[in-house]
Amino acid sequence: MLGFPQTTEFNKRIPKQKFYENIEVSPALKRVFVEQIKLIHWRNKLAESTLNISPGQVVKEIEVIEIKLAQPQLDEAVLRQIDKEIPYHILFILSCGNKVQAWTGYKEAAESGKAAFKVNKYYHTDWMLEDELTLEIDGLNLDAVWDNFIIQVGGVELEQGNSLDEQIAVDERKEKLIKEINKLEKQARNEKQPNKKFELAQRVKALKKEREGLNDK
C-alpha cells in the first residue's frame, strides 16, 4: 500500500481516546470514535529527515495516518477532529477489511484559535484493494508534494496553468454556480407571474454566462 520509502515508516499506534478526551468534543463525536473506529496507526512521516526533501513555506511535515474502520464509512467530523489535534498536514488512509481509501484535506492557515490550519474541504479516492492504492511523492519541497497528493487523491485537473489554489477556487465557484442555477430554474418553472418568471430567467442567463467564462479560463 502506497509504496513510500522505508525511511518514512513510523508505525506507531495512537490510542483513539487521545482525540476525544478533550472536554470540547461532543458526546456524539465521542460515540463515533468508539463505534466506527477500531484502531488508529501513524504509518509514515514525510519530512526532510526521512525523505531528504526540503520543507515548504507552509508544509513542514506530512503524516500518514491509517484508520481501521468497523464499517466502510466514517463521519468526516472525525477527520476534522484529528486534523485539529495534529498541527501537521495529514494523509488519511481509511481501511476496512482488504479495502482502503485515501483522504486529504485542503487546508488554509487558521485565522484564530489553537489550530494551525483549518480544513475547507476533503478529497478522497474510491474504495480499492490495498495493493491498488499508490501515490507518487512528487515535488522539490513538501508544499509541492502535498499539492500533488491533493491532485492525485481528489482527481483535480489543473486548467491552463492554474495553481492548485487557483483551480480549487475556480472549481468551488463552478459548484456554487451550478447549485444556484438549478435553484433558480426550479423557481422559474414554478413561478406563475410573467414578470418574476422573466426576472428569474435573466438571472439564470447571467449565471450561465459566468460559468461559461470560468470554463474558458
- Do 141 and 203 lie in one domain? The reply is no
Domain span at 101: 6-154
Per-residue pLDDT reduced to its tens digit, 144-183: 999 999 999 988 877 777 777 777 777 778 888 899 889 9
Same domain assignment for residues 130 and 76: yes
Q: Is residue 182 situated within a structural domain?
A: yes
Q: How far apart are CA 82 and CA 65, in angstroms?
A: 10
Shared-domain flag, residues 137 and 187: no
* 127 and 64 belong to one structural domain: yes
How confident is the model at residue 173, as a pLDDT?
81
pLDDT value for 65:
96
Quick: pLDDT tens for 173-205: 888 889 988 999 898 889 888 888 888 889 888
43-96 pLDDT tens trace: 999 999 999 899 999 999 999 999 999 999 899 999 998 988 888 999 999 999
Taking a C-beta distance cutoff of 8 angstroms, is the pair 168, 185 a contact? no
With respect to residue 1, please indicate whether it lies within any of the assigned structural domains: no
In a domain, residue 159? The reply is: no
Backbone angle region of 139, left / alpha / beta, with phi > 0 → left and psi within -120 to 50 → alpha: left
Number of neighbours of residue 26 by Cβ within 10 angstroms: 11
Number of H helices, E strands in the chain: 6, 7
Please tell me whether residues 10 and 70 are part of one structural domain: yes
Look-up of cell digits 479516492? 125
pTM above threshold 0.85: no
Domains identified in the chain, total number: 2
Instruction: Please report, as a single letter, which amino acid is at residue 111.
Output: E
